[in-house]
C-alpha cells in the first residue's frame, strides 16, 4: 500500500520553513506573494504536501528542517521577542548569523537571565511549555529586604497578591548578607513576571533573577551569551513520555505570549 504524502496548511508550512510567522505568512498570501506549484495561493487553508513546490516572491522555499533544540544563556538587557516596538535589542538579534529561524520555549523578561531554550519547532515549544508536563523551572534570585523564612515556606500553598492568585512556589533562603539575600525559587507553572510580583508582595525587591533549569535541561556552566545545541538523542530521551517522537519542525514568531520571569 502506497502511503499518501502528508499535507498541512501552507501558512504553517511556511512558518516551519523559517519564512515568517504564521500570521505574517497569511499576510503574504493576501498580498499575492505565495505560489504553490506555479499557481497563486489565495487562502491560508491551502494544503501543501511533500511533493509540492512553494515559492515566495518567485523564489522556491526549501522544506522544513529536522526538529532541533538549543540551550542559550540569556544575558540581561535582551527582550525575548523577534521584534520590539521600542527598538530594544532582542535575543534573536544576538544569535549567530548561521542560526536557523528559532523561537523560545517560554520567555525571560528584559532584566532576567539564565537558561532559555530555543527551537525551530513551534509544536515542540508548545509541548515543552505544557503545564501537564509538570516540569520544574528553577531560579536563583537575589533580593533586597528582610527575608521571612516562614513567609517563603507558605508560598508552597499558593498565594494571593494584589488580587491575583498564584500557584505553589517553593522558595528557600540560601545565603544572607545584610539586607541582600540569595534564594532558590522553583515553580511548575508561572504567570508573567510571577516571581518578581510575589517577592514584591513579601516586601522583597528582586535585583537579579537567573533561571538555572527548565525541566531536565540545565544551565550548568554554559557561559553568558553562549549557545549549545541539545543532542538529538538527549532530546528524544527527555521529551514528555506521552509522545515518543518529536513533532515535525515549525517556527514562528507571532501569536504566542508565554509567561516570562
Q: Are 116 and 104 in contact (CB under 8 A)?
A: yes
Decide whether 69-133+216-238 matches 137-214 in CATH topology. Answer: yes
The stretch 156-175 carries a mean pLDDT of 95
Strands (E), the chain: 7-9, 34-36, 39-40, 47-49, 54-56, 59-60, 69-74, 103-105, 113-119, 137-144, 159-161, 164-166, 170-177, 180-187, 205-214, 217-218, 227-229
Element (H, E) at 25: helix 22-30
Distance (Å, whole) CA 41 – CA 180: 59
109 given a catalytic annotation:
yes
89 strand-pairing partners: none
Q: What is the pLDDT of residue 217?
A: 96
Q: How many CB atoms lie within 10 A of CB 39?
A: 10
Q: pLDDT tens digit string along 169-210?
A: 999 999 999 999 999 999 988 888 999 999 999 999 999 999
**Residues 71-126: pLDDT tens digits?**
999 999 999 988 888 889 999 999 999 998 888 998 999 999 999 999 987 778 87
Taking the CA atoms of 220, 223, 224 and 226 in sequence, report the sign of the dihedral they define: negative
Q: Which CATH architecture has domain 137-214?
A: 2-Layer Sandwich (3.30)
How many angstroms separate the Cα of 181 from the Cα of each of 108, 113, 172, 174, 203?
Answer: 21, 18, 10, 7, 13
Q: What is the C-alpha to C-alpha distance for residues 72 and 84, in angstroms, rounded to an integer?
A: 20
CATH architecture of the domain formed by 7-60: Roll (3.10)
Catalytic residue among 109, 121, 162, 237: 109
Indicate the domain borders of the chain: 7-60, 69-133+216-238, 137-214
CATH 3.30.420.40 assigned to domain 69-133+216-238? The reply is no
CA distance 129 to 138: 14
Mean of all residue pLDDT scores within the chain: 86
Amino acid at each position: 500500500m502506497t502511503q499518501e504524502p502528508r499535507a498541512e496548511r501552507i501558512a504553517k508550512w511556511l512558518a516551519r520553513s523559517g519564512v515568517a510567522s504564521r500570521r505574517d505568512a497569511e499576510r503574504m498570501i493576501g498580498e499575492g506573494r505565495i505560489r504553490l506549484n506555479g499557481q497563486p495561493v489565495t487562502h491560508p487553508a491551502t494544503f501543501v504536501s511533500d511533493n509540492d513546490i512553494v515559492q515566495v516572491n518567485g523564489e522556491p522555499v526549501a522544506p522544513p528542517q529536522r526538529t532541533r533544540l538549543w540551550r542559550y544563556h540569556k544575558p540581561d538587557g535582551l527582550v525575548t521577542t523577534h521584534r520590539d516596538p521600542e527598538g530594544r535589542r532582542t535575543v534573536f538579534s544576538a544569535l549567530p548569523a548561521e542560526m536557523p529561524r528559532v523561537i523560545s520555549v517560554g520567555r525571560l523578561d528584559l532584566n532576567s537571565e539564565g537558561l532559555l531554550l530555543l527551537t525551530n519547532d513551534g509544536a515542540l515549544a508548545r509541548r515543552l511549555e505544557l503545564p501537564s508536563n509538570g516540569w520544574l523551572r528553577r531560579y536563583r534570585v537575589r533580593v533586597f529586604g528582610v527575608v521571612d523564612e516562614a513567609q517563603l515556606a507558605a508560598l508552597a500553598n499558593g498565594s494571593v497578591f494584589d488580587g491575583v492568585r498564584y500557584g505553589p512556589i517553593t522558595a528557600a533562603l540560601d545565603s544572607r548578607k545584610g539586607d541582600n539575600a540569595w534564594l532558590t525559587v522553583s515553580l511548575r507553572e508561572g504567570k508573567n513576571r510571577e516571581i518578581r510580583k510575589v517577592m514584591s508582595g513579601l516586601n522583597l525587591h528582586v535585583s537579579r533573577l537567573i533561571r538555572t533549569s527548565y525541566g531536565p535541561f540545565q544551565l550548568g556552566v554554559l557561559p553568558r551569551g553562549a549557545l549549545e545545541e541539545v543532542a538529538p538523542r538527549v532530546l528524544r530521551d527527555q521529551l514528555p513520555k506521552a509522545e515518543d517522537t518529536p513533532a515535525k519542525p515549525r517556527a514562528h514568531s507571532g501569536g504566542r505570549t508565554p509567561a516570562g520571569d
